[in-house]
Amino acid sequence: MAEQMQNIQRRIKSIGSTERITNAMKLVSAAKLRKAKSAFESSRLYLGRLLESIQETLDDVEDVPQRFLAGSRDVKNKCYVLITSSNGLCGSFNGNVIRTMTERLSEYGNDYSNVRMVTIGSKGREYFAHHGVEILMEHDAPADTVTFEETKEISRPLMELYAKGEIDEIDIVYTSYINTLKQEVIIKKLLPIDIHSKGEVGDYTNPIEYGPSAEAVFSYLIPKYIELMIFSTCIESATCEYAARRTAMENANDNAKDILADLQLEYNHARQSAITDEIIEIVAGAEAQR
């Protein structure tokens, strides 16, 4: 009985330590979530304004470069920008992204000769590096550490390959933030951009002039859009990761508390049984001496 009580005490001590760790990780994730959410909302505002500028340019002039617009070429070679985490303990966050990417790759059968991949986060790179997919670039550090300068280093080679015709379409696979409790993996097209003229004439007093040309302005805006899009999705993915980790650690913390309560009850029963046995032995000894 004494050995059983010692085992229970050891388990209580071990799970108590785990409970303190998961609680600390939950608090850290909640703090990082607030910071990442604020950065994500700011980047989304900039991205929306940039899209408006592209739309205005497309509506105002006709000589925009068609190579950047959807339907301008046949899609033969694809590239996917995959954003995962570099750390675990975030529930099904990484598994959902990898599963979505695997389902998309299943459309190609076993022939990935026309598929390339750029990975942000080590979990995605570790998985697909062993599945025969060519990885053009990799950024193993967590998505929230990707700076805007680094997104330029990622997007610039992609734009060059697209301009050369070695890549016909670029999609980004990441986790979209809906709310703190719900995130969803989506696949969004980066290039060519799926945006078309509204066919409306702007109500301007004076016509807008683009210098040196509308094509030059449009060719400048598109790379900026790709850079900001990758940067924004990295921040959004990091926001989802922190939300998933906070939820996972909260669930783990609650489970640890439940196990501690059960173990404490088990320990009390064992201690009560030990006391009862001792009382029985004392009474039996006293009766034997009469």
CATH code for the domain in which residue 242 is found: 3.40.1380.10
Is 281 inside any structural domain? no
- pLDDT tens-digit readout, 3-29: 777 887 888 888 888 888 888 888 888
At 118-131, the pLDDT tens digits run 888 888 888 888 88
The angle that helices 214-288 and 93-105 make with each other, rounded to 10 degrees, is 130
CA distance 17 to 47: 44
Residue 58, pLDDT above cutoff 80: no
CB 41 within 8 A of CB 78: no
Position 50 pLDDT exceeds 80: no
Q: What is the residue type of 192? A: P
Distance between CA atoms of 92 and 140, rounded to whole angstroms? Answer: 19
Residue 18 lies in a domain: no
What pLDDT sits at residue 55? 67
Q: How confident is the model at residue 172 (pLDDT cuts 50, 70, 90)?
A: very high
In the chain, the number of structural domains is: 1
Residue 257 lies in a domain: no
The answer as to whether 6 is a domain residue is no
Q: Which domain holds residue 119?
A: 23-248
CA distances, 176 to each of 40, 86, 182 (Å): 11, 17, 9
At residue 65, the pLDDT reads: 63
Query: In this structure, is residue 93 part of a structural domain?
Result: yes
